[in-house]
Amino acid sequence: MIYEHRTYRVQPGTLPEFMKLYNDHVFPVISKYAKLNGAWATESGTLNSAVFVWGYDDFGHRTDQRAKLAADPEWGPAVSKIVPFLVHQESFFMNPAPFMPE
């Protein structure tokens, strides 16, 4: 199992609208290809940010699933709804500790 930690920083004051659009349009599409393990809005540190942690079997699985996502005809229209809000996007991968529950 690997986890993708993805952070979206949005323009100040737009996080509630971004999260609603993400929930209504992006999440239904991406969740067909990845398992959401958590989602948060920041209250300290880098503000105006949403953090998502997606789970995949391994990096190959993530690569395959992202290719399927990119080919999904619903993906482009869904993403186009949140792009105007974005200031910065960051993604990194984490391996679970040996004692992490499945």
Report the SS3 class of residue 10.
Answer: strand
pLDDT digit string (tens) for the chain, length 102 residues: 999 999 999 999 999 999 999 999 999 999 999 999 999 999 999 999 999 999 999 999 999 999 999 999 999 999 999 999 999 999 999 999 999 887
- DSSP letter for 96, please: P
- Dihedral Cα 11, 41, 20, 83, nearest 10 deg: 40
Domain spans in the chain, listed from the N-terminal domain onward: 2-94
CATH architecture of structural domain 2-94: 2-Layer Sandwich (3.30)
Answer whether 0.85 is exceeded by the pTM: yes
Compute the C-alpha angle 58/60/64, nearest 5°.
120
Which among 68, 52, 71 is positioned nearest to 60, based on CA atoms? 68
Nearest to 37 by CA among 9, 1, 89, 70: 1
Residue type, 77: P
Could you tell me the two tokens for 76? Answer: 């482009």
Answer for the pair 50, 10: CB distance below 8 angstroms, yes or no: yes
